[in-house]
Amino acid sequence: MKRYKYPSAKQWPSICQRPVMDSSSIFPAVNAIIYDVANNGNAALKKYAQKFDGIILKNLSVTTQEINAAIRNIDPSLKKAILQAKNNIHKFHSSQKQAIVKIETTKGVTCWRETRPIEKVGLYIPGGSAPLFSTVLMLGVPASIAGCKEIVLCTPPDKNGKVHDAILFAASLCGITRIFKVGGAQAIAAMAYGTKTIPAVNKIFGPGNQYVMVAKQILQSKVAIDMPAGPSEVLVIADKTANPAFVAADLLAQAEHGTDSQVVLVSTDADIIKQTEVAIQQQLSLLPRQNIAAKALEHARIVLMKNIKDAIAFSNTYAPEHLILACKTTNALLKEIHTAGSVFIGNYSPESVGDYASGTNHTLPTNGYATAYSGVSLDSFYKKITFQQLTDEGLKNIANTVTTMAEAEGLQAHSEAVKVRLRHIKKAK
């Protein structure tokens, strides 16, 4: 862990610097995969399934029988947990629907905006050692609420050619039936270009490894994506009211995601820092993924600040994916938070609840993108279309403004499009 005591504001940017990931070495490999899938479709996907997943697939599609078997086989306690999480996520995202508001900007000129669902969306769900069935809910639920006509899900199979039961159960809850056993960059390429089996989509959502992220980056000119992404991260602000055992658990929960996970503790109390470090070592030894967490902790940062005001300002500079406030909070303090993906307030709000079941979305901006990006929401699955309708009186009221501006820009046809109507109105009367 790297430790900093009362750093000046000039030092904050360097402390907040994420590790620079050099993806240049894998660009050629990802480009080759994309080209292969675009030109050879299913044959390329089956080839990569054998190469990367160690499985020979006759059929890329998950069958109805496989989905039904997963629903029967899933552990009842896990099924109950997924159902509660799904209900909470549905409640929160349903509340994001907006009514149409029509505004008369000038007498006779009415403007409004309406939402339309993105017709075809693709969801990428990582498999491997930690199959992210929770992400199925985070993406599938708002896609379903938005009314997307086609929801395609791609996820890598295991060595037996199966998709994890919980992934299939969560997908069934969201009404997703187009599920394919495809992982990695090749899955992103398949959803971008389409194959005989997998339909092309308009927008791709979901996390993944470096190859998946590079594929999304390359294909942004072909298909929309949810957001840029980097390693997952948490920043905890702790004062003397914090519980060190809780803080340690939150830091380790982030560290176990992967060796590149970003873990930051900012505190106004040196004793809390010491107690938290002790708790980390005690809890780390009990974790099944302790080797992964320990590696992530090697580049963790611990920052001692003089006061909460500075701690919040530092957090705004860092722009964390997850911000945990293990400190005394007020509405005034919350208003000072300008950059964060999702905020967890108080000692009893662990980041884990947002990952799974509080209802908020866990697909959030990382790598400092919280300065400009929001997490996935219902809006992520919508297009917004503006409308305007003018009466003849409304056109007359705004005509001079439009013609003056159009002619000043040298766009005479724009001006004439108004004037021809004015002449018609005058003649009609």
> DSSP class of residue 109?
E
Q: Is 409 annotated as a binding residue?
A: yes
What are the residues whose beta carbons fall under 8 Å from the beta carbon of 310, sequence distance 6 or more? none
Q: Which among 93, 164, 322, 362 is annotated as catalytic? A: 322
Specify whether the CB–CB gap between 324 and 224 falls below 8 A.
Answer: no
Q: Is 48 annotated as a binding residue?
A: no
412 CA to centre of own chain: 45
Q: Is 90 annotated as a binding residue?
A: no
Q: Is 348 annotated as a binding residue?
A: no
Q: Is 355 annotated as a binding residue?
A: yes
Q: Is 351 annotated as a binding residue?
A: no
Q: Is 257 annotated as a binding residue?
A: yes
Alpha-carbon separation of residue 278 from 37, 273, 347 (angstroms) = 50, 9, 18
Q: What is the DSSP string of 24-56?
A: TTTHHHHHHHHHHHHHHHHHHHHHHHHHHS---
Q: Is 209 annotated as a binding residue?
A: yes
Q: What is the DSSP string of 111-179?
A: EEEEEEE-SEEEEE---TTS--HHHHHHHHHHHHHHT-SEEEEEE---TTS---HHHHHHHHHTT--EE
Q: Is 124 annotated as a binding residue?
A: yes
Per the annotation, the verdict on 321 as an active-site residue is: yes
Per the DSSP assignment, residues forming a β-bridge with 2 are: 301
**Strands of 178-181's sheet, edge to edge?**
178-181, 150-155, 120-124, 203-205, 224-225
Q: Which among 321, 338, 407, 416 is annotated as catalytic? A: 321
Per the annotation, the verdict on 298 as an active-site residue is: no
CA-wise closest residue to 134 among 173, 98, 170: 170
Q: Is 322 annotated as a binding residue?
A: yes
Instruction: Name the one residue in this structure whose structure tokens are 């040196």.
Output: 270
Q: Which are the catalytic amino acids?
A: 321-322
List binding-site positions for substrate. 232, 254, 257, 322, 355, 409, 414
- Per the annotation, binding residues for NAD(+) are 124, 186, 209
**Binding region:** 124, 186, 209, 232, 254, 257, 322, 355, 409, 414
Which residues line the annotated binding site for Zn(2+)?
254, 257, 355, 414
